[in-house]
Structure 1
Amino acid sequence: MKLFALLIAALLAAAAPAAADPTRDVPVPGSGQIVDLGVLTPRTALPRRVVVWLPSGYDPKGPPYAVLYMHDGQNLFDDKTAGYGHEWMVDETLDRLIREKKVRPTIVVGIWNTPKRLQDYVPAKAFARLPRAYMDRVRGLYGGDPLSDGYLKFIVDELRPAIARRFNVATDRDDTFVMGSSMGGLISLYAIDEYPAVFGGAGMLSTHWPLFLPQHEGDKLTEGEFKAVSGAFTAYLATGLADPRRHRLYFDHGTETLDAEYARYQQLVDRSVAAKGYIQGDNWLTVDYPGEAHNEQSWASRLEIPLRFLLRPKGVQPLGLKP
C-alpha cells in the first residue's frame, strides 16, 4: 500500500468512533476495573461515552488518586472496543507501574471520540493563525470549523467536577494530566496551554502536526504547506505554552507511515518549547522511535515512558529517562 493510502486511512478512518465488536460498548479491562459513566450529553460538545478506569485495589477512602484524562477512549483498554482491534493496554501497563511504585496511584478517564473527532481535536487558536487558503483546506477535510474550545470546556467545566464528586481523586493541577495520540496529541497540548491552572502535564504521542494530507496520491506535503502549518503552531506556542516552572510536556513520534511526516514539525515545536524555558529530560521530553508506526500497537509498546515521565511519584527525579 502506498504512503498516501496509509495516510488517508490512518487519519480519516480514526474520525469515526468505530468498535470492532458492536455488541460490546463498554471495555472489559485486563487489569483493574472500569466504571461506565454512560453516554454523556455535554452543554458545549457532542454526546459521547465516558468510562473511568480504576487500578487494582482502588481505595475510595484512602489517599486521593491522580487523574489522567485520555482521548479516543474506546481504544485504551480493550481490543473489542478499539476501532482497529488493538488497544493501548493502558490498564495493564498503568496497573503494573503503580504496583512497582514507578508512578503515583492514578485513575484514567477515557473519553470516546465522535464522528466530528477532527473538529473536536484541532486547536482552534492555532487554526486561526493559518493563512486563509489553508484554513479552507482544513475545513474541507475536517468537515467544518474547530470545535476544540467547546470540547475542552466540557472536560474542564462538566466532566472534571463530576469525576471529583464520584471518585477519590486529587483536584490540584499537579495531579491532573491529559494525554492522546495523533489528533489527540494536538488537543492534549491545547488543553494544557488553554487551561494551565487545571493540567500539570500533557502527553502527546505521534502528534499530527501537518493537519492535512497531500491532495493527490504520490504527492508529498510541499514546503509551502509545511511553512504555513508549522508557522501557525509556532505562532500560537510563542504566547500559548504553559509555564515550564509548573508543567511537564512529553512528545514523541515514530518514523513509519503517517509518523514519517512529523520529525521536521516536531523540531520546530521543540525550539519553541526550549525557548519558553523547558529543559529536555527534566520537565520536557521529546523522543524519536525509529521503526515505529502510527497505530495503537506502537503507542502501547512505548506507553510506559510517558506514563513514568508524567506520573512519577512526587519528590522523585525523572528516573533517568532520556530522549
Structure 2
Amino acid sequence: MRALYQIAFLACILFSCGCSDSNPSPSDDDNVPPPSGTSSFDIITQELSNDLTIDIYVPRVENASGKYPIIYFNDGDVFKGAIASLTSYKFEASSGIEPFIMVGISAAGHRYGRYIPYNDQWIKENWSDYSPGSINYTQRLINEVIPKVEEDYPVDTKRRAIFGFSLSGLYAAWAGINYPEVFSFSASMSPSFWVADYAIFDEPRELSNTRFYFDIGTKEWNYYVPMIESLENLGFRYGKDIFYYEVPGGIHAESDWASRLHIPLGLFLNGTPEEVEGYEIIKECIPSQSTAGLVFQRLNPIVTFTNGIRYSLSTSASFQVVSGDGVVLEDGRFDTKGGSMTVEVSHGNWSEHISLNNCNN
C-alpha cells in the first residue's frame, strides 16, 4: 500500500520547506508576528553551550497542582512565530487550559544532524552531507536541557511532550517511539516522514504510554496513514493514543502550523476529547508532486469536538457504496469506475451519504 502512494518532493518545494541548514526558515511566514494581546508568559533565554540556546516560556500564573506540564519545542529559533501563537492563552478557569511551560530549543544550523535519525542519500546529494545524530541530540536533551529546566521550575515529569515541525517533526515522532520514558506525548506537524523511504513506519516496536499526534496538509501531501497501522499493530488505539489530521488545503508553512497548534496542545493537556460537536466529509483530489496528471482520490472524514480539537477518521470510519458503481477502500481511497456512486460514511452513531464522481470527471 505504501508503494502506491510514495511521492518524492520536488527540489524546489523541498528547499522552500525550511529543511536546509543554510536556510532553515520554512517559508516566507518565518516572521509571523505573535497574536495581539498581552502574553501570559515570561520568556527567559539561556545559553547552555555555543550551539544550544533555549527560550523558556514560563506562565505568569501558578498551576493548581503546583507542577506544570511541559512542552519541548524543536526548532525553537526557527518557529518562534508558531510558538508565540500559544503565548496569548489566558489561564482563566473558563478557558479550560491549565498553565504549562514551553521550552524552545535552538536548531543553531544543525537541523540535519540533530533531527534526521537515518541515512538518506537523496538528502546528502541534493541538500547537504550529514551524519545522523538523533541519538546524540536526545542525550543532550536528557543530560543538559531537561535537567537545567526542571531543576529551576516545578515540572510534572509524567506530562512531558516533544513537539516538532517538518524535519524536527520527524524527530519528535522518533523520540516519542524510542524514549517513552522521557516523553509522554509526541506532536509532529507536517513531519518529514518520507526521509529514508519512510523508515519511521518501521520504528514502532513495543507498546508504551506515549501518545502520538501527527498531521499533513493536502497541498504538501505524502501518504502517512501507514504510521497509524504501525502503531495500532502494537496495541496503540486510534482516537485514544494516536491522532492523525489530514488538513484540507494545508501547506508547509509556519502560519498553517500556528493555526492548528491548539490541537496537539489540547490533546496533550486534556487527554482524549469526549463531546463531539460535528462531523464533515471532505472529498480530496490531491495532485501528485512528482507525476503529471496523477491525482490521489480520497475521502477524509473529520470529527470536531466542542473544545476545538479535530482529527481525521482515515482508518476508523466505515465506507459503504449504497448506489452506483465504484469502490472505497478502508482508508478512504475511492474510484467510481468512471461513473458516479453514493457512499455512506459512518463512525459510531453518526452516518452521512456523499455523492462522488472521479476527480477528473
Q: Does the TM-score normalized on the shorter chain lie above 0.5?
A: yes
Counterparts of 1:14 and 1:100, CA distance in 2: 42
Aligned to 1:104: 98
Aligned to 1:48: 52
Shift of 1:47: 1.4
Aligned to 1:311: 269
Shift of 1:165: 1.1
Matched, 1:235 2:202: yes
Amino acid at match of 2:100: T
- 1:291 and 1:72, CA in 2 relative to 1: closer, same or farther beyond 3 A? same
Q: Percent identity?
A: 23
> Which structure has more helix as a fraction of its residues?
1
Aligned to 2:17: 10
Counterparts of 2:215 and 2:91, CA distance in 1: 20
Aligned to 1:179: 163
Aligned to 2:153: 167
- 1:201 and 1:63, CA in 2 relative to 1: closer, same or farther beyond 3 A? same
Counterparts of 2:26 and 2:166, CA distance in 1: 18
Counterparts of 1:19 and 1:281, CA distance in 2: 29
How high is the TM-score relative to the length of structure 1?
0.72
Amino acid at match of 2:143: D
Amino acid at match of 1:91: T
Partners of 1:87 and 1:296 within 8 A in 2: no
1:171-195 residue CA offsets vs partner (Å, 9 max, x unmatched): 2x3x111111111111111212221
Shift of 1:90: 2.4
Counterparts of 1:113 and 1:291, CA distance in 2: 28
- 1:38 and 1:195, CA in 2 relative to 1: closer, same or farther beyond 3 A? same
Amino acid at match of 2:161: F
- 1:15 and 1:292, CA in 2 relative to 1: closer, same or farther beyond 3 A? farther
Matches within 5 A, 1:1-323: 4-13=11-20, 16=23, 30-41=38-49, 47-58=51-62, 63-78=66-81, 89-92=85-88, 95-96=89-90, 100-123=94-117, 127=118, 135-140=120-125, 141-171=127-157, 173=158, 175-211=159-195, 229-230=197-198, 232-237=199-204, 239=205, 243=208, 246-256=209-219, 259-260=220-221, 262=222, 264=223, 266-312=224-270, 317-318=273-274, 320=305, 321=309, 322-323=311-312
Counterparts of 1:19 and 1:185, CA distance in 2: 13
Shift of 1:269: 1.2
- Which blocks of at least 5 consecutive residues in structure 1 are unaligned? 79-85, 129-134, 212-227
Shift of 1:142: 3.9
Amino acid at match of 1:109: V
Amino acid at match of 1:248: R
* Aligned partner of residue 104 in structure 1, secondary structure: coil
Partners of 2:207 and 2:236 within 8 A in 1: no
Aligned to 1:83: none
* Aligned partner of residue 109 in structure 2, secondary structure: coil
Partners of 1:32 and 1:53 within 8 A in 2: no
* Aligned partner of residue 218 in structure 2, secondary structure: coil
Q: Which has the higher contact order (CA 8 A, sep 6+)?
A: 1
* Aligned partner of residue 233 in structure 1, secondary structure: helix
Partners of 2:40 and 2:90 within 8 A in 1: no
> Which structure has more strand as a fraction of its residues?
2
* Aligned partner of residue 70 in structure 2, secondary structure: strand
- Which blocks of at least 5 consecutive residues in structure 2 are unaligned? 1-8, 276-304, 313-361
Give the CA RMSD over aligned residues: 3.1
1:45-91 residue CA offsets vs partner (Å, 9 max, x unmatched): x71210110123246x961101110111124545xxxxxxx765121
Counterparts of 1:15 and 1:88, CA distance in 2: 23
Partners of 2:173 and 2:188 within 8 A in 1: yes
- 1:6 and 1:17, CA in 2 relative to 1: closer, same or farther beyond 3 A? closer
Partners of 1:234 and 1:269 within 8 A in 2: yes
Shift of 1:99: 5.3
- 1:98 and 1:108, CA in 2 relative to 1: closer, same or farther beyond 3 A? farther
Shift of 1:267: 1.4
Shift of 1:101: 4.4
Counterparts of 2:80 and 2:168, CA distance in 1: 16
Counterparts of 1:105 and 1:294, CA distance in 2: 29
